[in-house]
Amino acid sequence: MAQINPIFSVPFAFDRLDDCASLNQALRELFLRREAQGPRFANPNPYTPRNKELFESNFDLFSWPEACIAELREFCLSRIAQTVAELNRYDAARMARLQIVTDAWFHVTRRGGFFGVHNHPMASWSAVYCVSAGEHDADQPDSGRLSFINPLAQMYLDAGNAQQISPFQLGNHAFDLQPGMLVIFPSWVQHQVMPFYGEGERITVAMNCAMHFR
List, for residues 156-199, the tens digit of each pLDDT value.
889 999 899 988 888 899 999 999 999 999 999 999 999 999 99
Q: Is residue 187 part of a domain?
A: yes
Beta strands per DSSP E along the chain: 13-16, 54-56, 98-109, 115-118, 125-132, 135-136, 146-148, 173-175, 181-186, 191-193, 198-199, 202-213
Task: Give the global pTM.
Answer: 0.96
Q: Is residue 159 part of a domain?
A: no
Q: How many domains does the chain have?
A: 1
Q: Is residue 138 part of a domain?
A: yes
Q: Residue 38: which pLDDT band, with cuts at 50, 70 and 90?
A: confident
Instruction: Indicate whether 29 pLDDT > 80.
Output: yes
What's the DSSP call for residue 47? -
Tell me the residue range of the domain where 197 lies. 14-149+172-213
Q: Is residue 133 part of a domain?
A: yes
Q: Residue 124: which pLDDT band, with cuts at 50, 70 and 90?
A: very high
**44 CB neighbour count, 10 Å cutoff:** 7
CA torsion angle 33 177 81 28 (round to 10): 10
Residue 83's domain is classified under what CATH number? 2.60.120.620
* pLDDT for 36: 97
Per-residue pLDDT of 45-99, as tens digits, reads: 998 999 999 999 999 999 999 999 999 999 999 999 999 999 999 999 999 999 9
Instruction: Indicate whether 153 pLDDT > 80.
Output: no
Q: Is residue 103 part of a domain?
A: yes
Q: Is residue 161 part of a domain?
A: no
Q: Is residue 49 part of a domain?
A: yes
Instruction: Indicate whether 154 pLDDT > 90.
Output: no
